[in-house]
Structure 1
Amino acid sequence: MSLIRKMTLFVASFSALLLSGCGDDIKYNMREGVTEISREVYELHMIAIWVCVVIGIITFGVMFYSMFAHRKSKNPNPAKFSHSTAVEIVWTAIPFIILIALAVPAVGLLIKMEDASDSDLTIMVKGYQWKWEYKYIDGDDNLANDVRFFSNLDQASRDMSRNAGSGFSGVKIEDDNYLLEVDNPLVIPVDKKVRFLVTSDDVIHSFWVPDFSVKKDAIPGFINEVWTKVDEPGTYRGVCAELCGQDHGFMPIVVKVLPQNEYDAWYAGKVAEAEAGPDLNERTMSQLMAEGEAAYNKYCSSCHMPNGEGNGPFPSLVGTEMITGEGSLTKHIDTVINGVPGTAMQAFGSQLTEAEIAAIITYERNAWGNDTGDKVQPQEIHDIKNGGGE
């Protein structure tokens, strides 16, 4: 096959692939999204794509014509000239004009994307390894009735990941939302300008929801600002777009956009939960173990493994001094609540409820053959967190 024919086939194949993403079934193209900003981004993207297509057709057309019309067999004696000033001016001026023509609307759109003023709602978004925390803030940038919660990967996706060996064992996972579902989605109202204040508690994360054209880095010690105004109720999904650690792919983002009346009802429920306070009811050992196993699998098993034997820098919890040593209960509780500075062990005191912490500690001290008999109640954790314990 001749070189010209090979190059022609390549251009034809590439063009077919490009055009296949420009039709109604947008399989290879950018999402148009559900916000005014996302649609403007999509339109600018399509303009740039078609400019590139035209440039490519002209460039390759001239190149192929030159290769064919001026081939050695037809013109054995090449022309002798060094350059053309007019041609050089043209091929410098045209790209400059194209860049300016694209830059003007792009800069205008970027300025618009950065303008989060006059927002109807502000939400603090904080990234953790590997979860998101959402805090609803009122107009004075204070916590709105202390409505805050964490959003973790749902247990079904965790179970599928373990059963499928993270997708590398040949087991086919047919769930369309595999690794894209959470236990507590972010909820916002439709047709309201929502400002996100994005930061991180540990390493750099990135808050990305493609349907909103929202992508902002979450950096420890910094607060970045981005906003959205969604036109259509629905459920929209995103991910952390920064390589933030071994479970980077296990911290998805799910946003539920509700009509105003449904949002108000949801928000009122969250306010009522916050005002009700923590559940400090005493539990039996069987209740603590059942709740502890569920909470351990959600929050702890990715590091310490489902069998408690640890993994790399994450220590084992089976028969260790931390778990079974004399007087170790106090240190165990302190470690879970306050973490271990300088290590990957996070402080879970502000991330989990008193009931979850009590259940996890009880479970870890009585699972996998540890059998210490220790039982921790939510009230004990509450007293310690509020300075009333030892």
Structure 2
Amino acid sequence: MPALADTQSMPLNMTQGVTAVSQQVYDLHMTIFYICVAIGVVVFGVMFWAIIHHRKSKGAVAASFHESTKVEIVWTLIPFVILILMAIPATKTLLAMEDTSKPDMTVQVTGSQWKWHYRYFDEEVEFYSLLATTSAQIANERDKRDNYLLEVDRPLVLPVGKKVRFLITSQDVIHSWWVPDFAVKKDANPGFINEAWTRIDEPGIYRGQCAELCGKDHGFMPIVVIAKSQTDYDQWLQATRTAQREAREEEQRLLDMQMGMDELMALGEKVYTTRCAMCHQANGQGLPGAFPALAGQGVSVDPAARLEHISVVVHGQAGTAMQAFGPQLSLKELAAVITYERNAWGNNTGDAVQAAEIQAVMNGEEL
């Protein structure tokens, strides 16, 4: 039983998947595997037969021949035929994998260090998907769940039975969007768009991860796809569209409001922990030579650099690993995390950044 349990938790063969293409890939893999097994049996069978029946102790004398035209033709034709037998199903499978024509819907997938951004074409829905496992859970070596490091805060939701085209790109370095159950694995290259597609046959939760070494948190960039029936998907889409519209309206109301320091600090700590601590560290000390410290130095403590601090968080910093968080966070979250950085770890500037200031910097206005 233990051996069986281990095999089930760590399969020894390819994932068969839940799409027609993934099944084709699996069938192709097994076809090539059986051909290789047959070649191995024949080659090693002939070799061991020759060793046993033509050994020196039986008085066997090695034959002396060379430049045999027949032998040359035979050992050229046999591999050629084998390769043709492999190439036919392989070509059919590759053509099926690359056929992104006539999709029912399109989703843009953008990788960045270290998260995924999904945008549904023509649906006014887009969001970032981040690792849901907290830093404290990662540091704790006990009680790791079955899907440890394969859980996200916002999964990609897709309908079953629909052809979904993915347009895959990157914001910074090379990533790779890989979901084994779909037989989809495409590099996300900055400045380029790669295409892939899937049609999911069964509702369920399917997991993957970035398959291209993309930086220090490459291992914390999972992918979760939830496949729903068309009815459930339509309900989710409508609810998400409504929630995002209400969030935009709430942001407009925030422009005329003054949030209190306690509210800003509480939300700012939460945002900092999930979005910033991986680089600048939970204590704000950063990583020397890689990520600058925020505690007690730099723009986060300079009263004259308040606008610069906002601009760096909103627009990012060219030539560095500092991303533009303006498109990723709400005005409230941006105001909160900047306020937190200016007042945590003993910085104590007393600055309470408001949503209106963030909006002004986004629009390039002078305050």
The normalised TM-score by structure 2 is 0.92
Q: CA RMSD in A?
A: 2.1
Any residues of structure 2 matched to 1:273-284 within 5 Å, and which? 273-276=243-246, 277=248, 278-279=250-251, 280=254, 282-284=258-260
Q: Select which of 278, 287, 290 maps to 2:263.
A: 287
Q: CA 1:24–1:324 in 2, change beyond 3 Å: closer, same or farther?
A: closer
Q: Tell me the equivalent position of 1:369.
A: 346
Any residues of structure 2 matched to 1:140-289 within 5 Å, and which? 144-145=123-124, 147-156=125-134, 158-163=135-140, 171-172=141-142, 174-276=144-246, 277=248, 278-279=250-251, 280=254, 282-289=258-265
What amino acid does structure 1 have at the position aligned with 2:323? Q
Matched positions, count: 356
Q: Tell me the equivalent position of 1:11.
A: none
Partner Cα distance (1:24, 1:315) in 2: 45
- Does 2:95 correspond to 1:111? yes
Partner Cα distance (2:8, 2:265) in 1: 52
Partner Cα distance (1:386, 1:75) in 2: 93
Once the 2 structures are TM-superposed, how far is the Cα of residue 377 of structure 1 from its aligned partner? Answer: 2.0
Q: Tell me the equivalent position of 1:47.
A: 31
Q: Tell me the equivalent position of 1:6.
A: none
Identity of aligned residues (%): 54
Q: CA 1:135–1:28 in 2, change beyond 3 Å: closer, same or farther?
A: same
Deviations 1:82-137, CA, capped at 9 Å, x for gaps = 35433332222111111111111211221121111111110111110110000110
Deviations 1:233-277, CA, capped at 9 Å, x for gaps = 001011111111111111111101011111111111121123221
Once the 2 structures are TM-superposed, how far is the Cα of residue 72 of structure 1 from its aligned partner? Answer: 2.9
Is 2:271–2:337's contact at 8 Å kept on the other side of the alignment?
yes
Is 2:204–2:226's contact at 8 Å kept on the other side of the alignment?
yes
Helix, strand or coil: the match of 2:72? Answer: helix
Deviations 1:120-168, CA, capped at 9 Å, x for gaps = 1101111101100001103xxxxx22x1100011143x332233xxxxx
Q: Tell me the equivalent position of 2:329.
A: 352
Is 2:133–2:148's contact at 8 Å kept on the other side of the alignment?
no
Is 1:179–1:250's contact at 8 Å kept on the other side of the alignment?
yes
Q: Select which of 293, 305, 311 maps to 1:328.
A: 305
Once the 2 structures are TM-superposed, how far is the Cα of residue 282 of structure 1 from its aligned partner? Answer: 4.1
The normalised TM-score by structure 1 is 0.86
Which stretches in structure 1 are left out of the alignment for 5+ residues?
1-19, 139-143, 164-170
- Does 2:109 correspond to 1:125? yes
Q: Tell me the equivalent position of 1:10.
A: none
* Divergent runs of 4+, >6 A: 23-26
Deviations 1:192-218, CA, capped at 9 Å, x for gaps = 110101111111111111000111111
Helix, strand or coil: the match of 1:327? Answer: helix
Any residues of structure 2 matched to 1:49-64 within 5 Å, and which? 49-64=33-48
Once the 2 structures are TM-superposed, how far is the Cα of residue 53 of structure 1 from its aligned partner? Answer: 0.7
What amino acid does structure 2 have at the position aligned with 1:284? G
Q: CA 1:282–1:178 in 2, change beyond 3 Å: closer, same or farther?
A: farther
Which stretches in structure 2 are left out of the alignment for 5+ residues?
none
Helix, strand or coil: the match of 1:73? Answer: helix
Q: CA 1:40–1:367 in 2, change beyond 3 Å: closer, same or farther?
A: same
Q: CA 1:385–1:129 in 2, change beyond 3 Å: closer, same or farther?
A: same
